[in-house]
């Protein structure tokens, strides 16, 4: 299944979008969590093949 993963800034503008090929709905979020986030990225949104949209509750990613 093809999912779209979008990184959002503080105003919910899309600052980066990528395609994720996954068998489960949790994979797009895991992929986003393990990659370098774009500057000013604070949330992630996954768009399912059916059109359903799920947005992360995380408001910022803390760097180590």
Residue 54: per-residue pLDDT: 85
Residue 14 lies in a domain: yes
Residue 60 lies in a domain: no
Residue 6 lies in a domain: yes
CB 42 within 8 A of CB 34: no
Q: 3-state SS string over the chain?
A: CEEEEEEECCCCCEEEEEEEECCCCCHHHHHHHCCCCCCCCCEEEEECCCCCEEECCCCCCCCC
Residue 25: per-residue pLDDT: 65
Residue 14: per-residue pLDDT: 95
Residue 18 lies in a domain: yes
Q: Write the pLDDT tens digit of every residue in 5-62.
A: 899 998 889 999 988 887 776 777 777 777 888 888 888 888 888 888 888 766 555 5
Residue 64 lies in a domain: no
Domain count, the chain: 1
Residue 44 lies in a domain: yes
* Percent of the chain whose predicted confidence (pLDDT) is above 70: 86
The boundaries of the domain holding residue 48 are: 2-55
Residue 63 lies in a domain: no
Residue 64: per-residue pLDDT: 41
Q: Strand 14-21 relative to strand 53-55: parallel, antiparallel, unpaired?
A: unpaired
């Amino acid at each position: 299944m093809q999912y779209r993963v979008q990184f959002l800034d503080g105003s919910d503008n899309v600052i980066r979008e990528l395609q994720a090929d996954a068998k489960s709905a949790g994979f797009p979020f895991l992929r986003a969590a393990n990659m370098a986030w774009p500057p000013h990225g604070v949330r992630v949104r996954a768009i399912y093949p059916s059109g359903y949209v799920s947005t992360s509750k995380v408001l910022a990613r803390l760097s180590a």
